[in-house]
Amino acid sequence: MTLHTTISTAPAESSESYQLYLPQQPLPLVFDSPHSGMQLPTDFNTLASVAQLQSGWDAFIDELWLPAAEQGASLLAAQVSRMYIDLNRAPDDISPDMLEGSWPSALNPTAYSSRGMGLLRQWALPGQAMYKTALTVTQVQQRLARYYQPYHQRLKQLLDQYYQQFGAVWHIDCHSMKSYGNAMNIDAGTPRADIVIGNRDGQSASAEFTAVIVEAFSQLGYNVSLNYPYKGGYLTQCYANPAQQRHSLQIEINRKLYMDEAAFSPHQGFTELQQHLQHITAQATAYIQSYLAVNTKDE
């Protein structure tokens, strides 16, 4: 995917799993974009068309947030389609129906799996099956090893590294959403807010940091919903511990703000939104710098 941005940032690291953009002078602020990849590995063997696969694609989200890497934040962006393996799910969130043979340890399918949207997608869209036959255990283990684990390991390393260095870390998990939910979503048929911020009902980020981001969007004129219909997924759950100053927030951006949802191409709103996101990042970094100024770790 060619980036539309004029910013000359090149990834510091690039692998089949992810691209990582690093700032020159890092702050303890990490953005991650698990669904903006659209690579389709050759062993995918899906029944779904590319257009159907694109429906789950958080198109251009990495590019929209990329200027953050020039504002002191790190940005980790996935390469592979979430329809192949979903990095925003627990690695054992698998429906046994998807597998041929038995998984070597206990599976824990959640409500995502029952809606066909677990680690492995069962339906591309309502009624459109992803696969003709079940996947073998080896196939799924290879997807985990090649795409899932490297992404999670790198994200965890970044968060741990900044936490050690600064005594606190802020993580923003970046997504986009259809302007209306479909039958696989909990808000099917309802128009969505411009921006949905999720902090898992207060369990993944402080109220203070959440308010900074909510107010930053509100001041720009966006209507913002907190924790509905998206509270924050697995990525905001797994590395957060607000009591220990590890904060994770999810930001869902309504696709109608920046793209033609049917054609999957950016529209005239793209550039303005990208500029607005630089303002959001600036508000986040200002908050973090003021926090660090009063809470500097004694070495």
86/159 with CB nearer Zn ion: 86
Residue 35 sits in the site that holds Zn ion (CB under 5 A) = yes
Residue 173 sits in the site that holds Zn ion (CB under 5 A) = no
Distance CA 165, CA 157 (A): 12
Residue 246 sits in the site that holds Zn ion (CB under 5 A) = no
The interface mask with Zn ion, positions 47-66, x = CB under 5 A, is -----------x--------
Distance CA 25, CA 141 (A): 37
Residue 54 C-beta: closest distance to Zn ion, Å: 13
Contacts (Cβ under 8 Å, ≥6 apart) of 6: none
35/89 with CB nearer Zn ion: 35
| 113 CB-contact burial (10 Å; exposed 0-12 / middle 13-18 / buried 19+) | buried
Q: What would the two tokens of residue 108 be?
A: 């824990």
Residue 169 C-beta: closest distance to Zn ion, Å: 21
Residue 89 sits in the site that holds Zn ion (CB under 5 A) = no
Q: Which of 7-15, 33-41, 159-167, 211-219 is the region at the interface with Zn ion (rule: CB under 5 A)?
A: 33-41
Residue 276 sits in the site that holds Zn ion (CB under 5 A) = no
Residue 175 sits in the site that holds Zn ion (CB under 5 A) = yes
- Beta-strand (E) ranges in the chain? 13-14, 18-21, 29-33, 74-78, 99-100, 123-125, 128-129, 135-136, 169-177, 195-198, 224-226, 246-254, 259-260, 265-266
User: By CB under 5 A, how many residues form the interface with Zn ion?
Assistant: 3
Q: What would the two tokens of residue 201 be?
A: 């009902």
Residue 233 C-beta: closest distance to Zn ion, Å: 8
Chain residues in the site for Zn ion (CB under 5 A): 35, 58, 175
